Amino acid sequence: MAKKKMTVLDFKKYKEEGKKFSYVTAYDYTIASIVNDSDVECILVGDSLGMIMLGYDSTVPVTLDDVIHHAKSVVKGAPDTFIIGDMPFGSYNVSIEDAIRSANRLVKETGVDCIKLEGGVEMVDTIKALVKAGHNVMGHIGLTPQTATSFGGFKVQGGTPESARKLIEDAKALEAAGVFSIVLECVPSVVAKAMREEVGVPILGIGAGPDVDCQVLVTQDLLGMYGDFKPKFVKQFAQIRQEMVKGLNQFHHESETGEFPTPEFSFNKAVEIPKVYGGK
Ligand code: KIV
């Protein structure tokens, strides 16, 4: 049975009901359609596509055109799944007008259900303007990969009482500005728990422990597909990379030995071949 697509209103409802849900990334039609066949409720077309799909070292070089290109195929592949379009670095930090223009393009050209952007209190005016312009906005605080170099790289955030307090203040400011949910990345579990109790919108945790409203992971990480790096918070629920290499090696082997293709995988119609081409 096809699942019922989640709506923006369900985010708050699920939190109030204590119903936990899940959220993964996808960047292409095939993976999106596989997620759509699963019970996972949300897909993020994340700027992590820079590393996962394009082989970059970080999310910083990803452009709005890159996200739009990938999001179009995800929307086609996952009609029953709530889809989030990530605003890449440079698409919302020039001016509020520019942020609205970028969000308009992302939503109008792809059909994603909402946009996500990184940042705390410093993003409040931009978020308010985006909400006023009619956008559903998801926040993202804690480890914010687009600006990670300014706080010393990919590190756990909120590890001191002051930084934990600042993160909770950020979450409250984002809620007041109108976000409908907040991604919280790479923080101690106790910080996520305290934040979840302080704000009315769902906390979507990635590396934020068990006391959040929704668990988020990158699909290629959780399925064991991405070979370059495995963060501590990633549990691999399958070993798809190994299975893929195994399948590719079997194809290679049977191609070398001639075991593939058998008549089952060939077009076997008898056709008279002209003599010049080796016929009788
Ligand atoms: O781009 C991404 O994959 C993300 C997740 C880490 C939430 O922003």
For 127-181, what is each residue's pLDDT tens digit? 999 999 999 999 999 999 999 988 878 899 999 999 999 999 999 999 999 999 9
Catalytic residue status for 256: no
Whole-number pLDDT of residue 57: 94
For the entire predicted model, the pTM comes to 0.95
Provide the Cα torsion 110, 111, 112, 114; round to 10°: 120
Choose, from 97, 162, 175, 185, the residue flagged as catalytic. Answer: 185
Whole-number pLDDT of residue 1: 64
Average pLDDT of every residue of the chain: 96
Ligand 1-lining residues (CB < 6 angstroms): 25, 44, 46-48, 86, 140, 183, 185, 206, 216, 218
Whole-number pLDDT of residue 229: 82
Whole-number pLDDT of residue 228: 77
22 C-alpha vs ligand 1 centroid, how far in Å? 13
Task: Tell me which residue of 187, 235, 181 sits closest to 204, measured CA to CA.
Answer: 181
Contact 22, 215 (CB under 8 A): yes
Closest atom of ligand 1 to CA, residue 183: 7
Whole-number pLDDT of residue 255: 98
Q: Divide the 280 residues of the chain into consecutive groups of 10 and give the mean pLDDT of each group.
A: 90 97 98 98 98 96 98 98 98 98 98 98 98 98 94 90 98 98 98 98 98 98 90 96 98 98 97 88
55: phi > 0 → left, psi -120 to 50 → alpha, else beta; which? left
